[in-house]
Structure 1
């Protein structure tokens, strides 16, 4: 596809400019999550946590805030435009990061992480809305998939980057890195980002009007169905994020090099996101995501059976989990695109509703899975198997039993 073909009459952004925008926006979200993983033991020791599972709340607090605030940014961006809201949210993120940097106890740190998630949530909402302003259908799935490739690729380097910082400085310096990164992104967007929201699509900022916009978003079967399916899917992923350090570093005894094992798995996920961006134009979102969801669930169930009835070691654990996570790379972007397809006229609000549903519900499910950690891999793998089964049931209901169909998105 040529850039001019993508930009159309308005010539607002080329294809690669849009991809770059989404890459940077999703990248800082991923950094905010994954760089903290190797710091969790140090945070627990420094702030006096007796229960090691409690340190997982550093991740959960961010994810909950990330989901909750998306309800706000949708109506704001549909009324005021994409650019001013995104830049304002980045300023708030910088302030929240400073708050985390000076946190004097665990509760204050959790509050700072909640505020970090609430502010940077604008990047996901507005990034997706900008993509929907300029694309639709399979083209949107391709663009979002390339951004998700980076979102999945950041964990390849982020935990190791966090670990490098910890080798030379205390855990608070991770927040210094995030502070500098967010400031650079804000400067870049202020210079390079155009306003993509058509004047005719701007909505008056009014509480009742926002309620009507959310009702309009949620009256579409595909939007609601794939939002709940995505919530279960992300619940399994967040469960992995919460307990990955304890499982790999402590249960399997990898110590500080656990970030390398995590990086290898994340790299495989990034590869399948890239493959998705190449295949989705030919095969469609439904075929790819539904087939991958079935495969993910089957692998997770087989993994549970292996843990319960046979034995497991690090090699088997990493092989099966990596295979399952690779299939996640064919699910996330496509579920998002399928949900957004019928709601382009309220893209910002719909993106916020999708992010809220998948973010908050996924964070709660992930927190439950993480808190069940008992020096065994069974809570994580069984949790992922159950979330896979739940997502399959929701997709079956949403599609009225018609699997692998063309659908209106095609």
Structure 2
């Protein structure tokens, strides 16, 4: 806890030179609406399957469609924000997120729930893509990495609270009540954003291009070798995390026999690892380079994923599986903020929105494809989840390696 408080204190003391702390907190909470919308109702999946009379895959499709909307929304909103600014799109997107959450809460069929989740993802995307862009507008280098780590710490509280609260509420208000809670969360943050978050991209710094050209601008940033590699490293590392998220409900409850409450408590362990890892990363930045911390995080990521795979193959055991995922989560917490900072630093300031759009879109597309991947071969199991995690971790190693080589070549 002292490490976390120290990291917050350091971020606060440097806020005058970067993004103000109150803005960081609000945009972090807006970004956190995504894990809230995916984690909070996981414990209710078996109940949803029974209510609608559909397969596990049909229920998991509610995550896939949310992430699809989340990805498309980040691309569109990020690209347009370089042209129109951040604030208006942030507020409009949050309104759409509230509307999608309400529609999900009252959906009478699984098909309408799919549509609602798609809308919910489109709106929630505004907080994620513009949160990164808003911070990048006013911070650079290791200070940006510190503030991104602080954002991850704040966001990390939601994955801790969401599954525990969701598992408690699922038996009281059901998954529909949980959707109403998500709608209320987004509505409250909308009010805070109106009064706290200013426009961070003034007119003179906006891109002077047409709307049609803005739609292709995110593709232009892919010409930067360092950005492309670091962005790929980010999305594959996130793929590790989401492989566990998408399969955790069935593995922990159906395979290991945990109750909804037990599932929430185990999920909390992994979320605490994310928060602690982000706090440690923020504290160590300045003492160690972003390169060193990224490589250390990658080692932890691969080690945890390999352990999860071996455990699932040879000796499926709850403690071993959760311990392996916890190690991987510590690695993810070091990798994500540093790769985001390194990637955006490779781009000019007028392309921060497009760069954030590419990162967010890739993140969402990987997440949308991960849910079906963990089902390959039949039922979801510790081995299937661990294998997908390990494959993503190897891709992260490749992306990070080529990213640093490309950055070195570009600097010389």
Alignment match, 1:338: 342
Paired positions, count: 400
- Residues 193-246 of structure 1 show CA distances to partners (whole Å, capped at 9, x for unaligned) of 111113221124624431563243222112111122222222221111111011
Offset at residue 281 of structure 1 (A): 2.7
Counterpart contact for 1:240–1:366, Cα < 8 Å:
no
Residues 1:45 and 2:55 are matched in the alignment: no
Counterpart contact for 1:64–1:359, Cα < 8 Å:
yes
> Aligned runs of 1:86-235 on 2, under 5 Å?
86-204=90-208, 206-211=210-215, 213-235=217-239
Alignment match, 1:350: 355
> Aligned runs of 1:1-400 on 2, under 5 Å?
6-7=15-16, 15-49=20-54, 51-204=55-208, 206-211=210-215, 213-256=217-260, 257-308=262-313, 310-343=314-347, 344-370=349-375, 372=377, 374=379, 376-400=381-405
Counterpart contact for 2:64–2:367, Cα < 8 Å:
no
Counterpart contact for 1:235–1:366, Cα < 8 Å:
no
Counterpart contact for 2:96–2:123, Cα < 8 Å:
yes
User: 4+ residue stretches of structure 1 with deviation over 3 A?
Assistant: 1-8, 370-373, 405-408
Offset at residue 150 of structure 1 (A): 2.2
* Closer, same or farther: CA 18–362 of 1 in aligned 2, 3 Å: same
Q: Distance in 1 between matches of 2:302 and 2:271?
A: 19
Counterpart contact for 2:226–2:343, Cα < 8 Å:
yes
* Closer, same or farther: CA 366–392 of 1 in aligned 2, 3 Å: farther
Offset at residue 356 of structure 1 (A): 0.9
* Closer, same or farther: CA 406–262 of 1 in aligned 2, 3 Å: farther
* Closer, same or farther: CA 4–141 of 1 in aligned 2, 3 Å: closer
Counterpart contact for 1:235–1:363, Cα < 8 Å:
no
RMSD: 2.3
Structure 1 residue runs of 5 or longer lacking an equivalent are none
Offset at residue 401 of structure 1 (A): 8.2
Offset at residue 368 of structure 1 (A): 1.3
> Aligned runs of 1:395-410 on 2, under 5 Å?
395-400=400-405
Q: Distance in 1 between matches of 2:92 and 2:221?
A: 25
Counterpart contact for 1:240–1:370, Cα < 8 Å:
no
* Closer, same or farther: CA 318–373 of 1 in aligned 2, 3 Å: farther
Counterpart contact for 2:206–2:350, Cα < 8 Å:
no
Q: What's the TM-score once normalised by structure 1's chain length?
A: 0.91
Structure 2 residue runs of 5 or longer lacking an equivalent are 1-9
Counterpart contact for 2:68–2:368, Cα < 8 Å:
yes
Q: Distance in 1 between matches of 2:198 and 2:114?
A: 34
* Closer, same or farther: CA 163–304 of 1 in aligned 2, 3 Å: closer
* Closer, same or farther: CA 281–15 of 1 in aligned 2, 3 Å: farther
Moved more, 291-300 or 153-162: 291-300
Counterpart contact for 1:64–1:114, Cα < 8 Å:
yes
Offset at residue 305 of structure 1 (A): 3.0
Counterpart contact for 2:98–2:187, Cα < 8 Å:
yes
- Residues 239-293 of structure 1 show CA distances to partners (whole Å, capped at 9, x for unaligned) of 1111101111110011222111111121122111111111123212221122211
Q: Distance in 2 between matches of 1:290 and 1:63?
A: 28
Q: Distance in 1 between matches of 2:355 and 2:406?
A: 25
- Helix, strand or coil for the counterpart of 1:253? coil
Counterpart contact for 1:162–1:174, Cα < 8 Å:
yes
Q: Distance in 1 between matches of 2:166 and 2:11?
A: 38
Moved more, 84-93 or 294-303: 294-303
Q: Distance in 2 between matches of 1:331 and 1:301?
A: 17
Q: Distance in 2 between matches of 1:208 and 1:261?
A: 47
- Residues 153-207 of structure 1 show CA distances to partners (whole Å, capped at 9, x for unaligned) of 3111101111222232232111111111111111111111111113221124624
Moved more, 121-130 or 189-198: 189-198
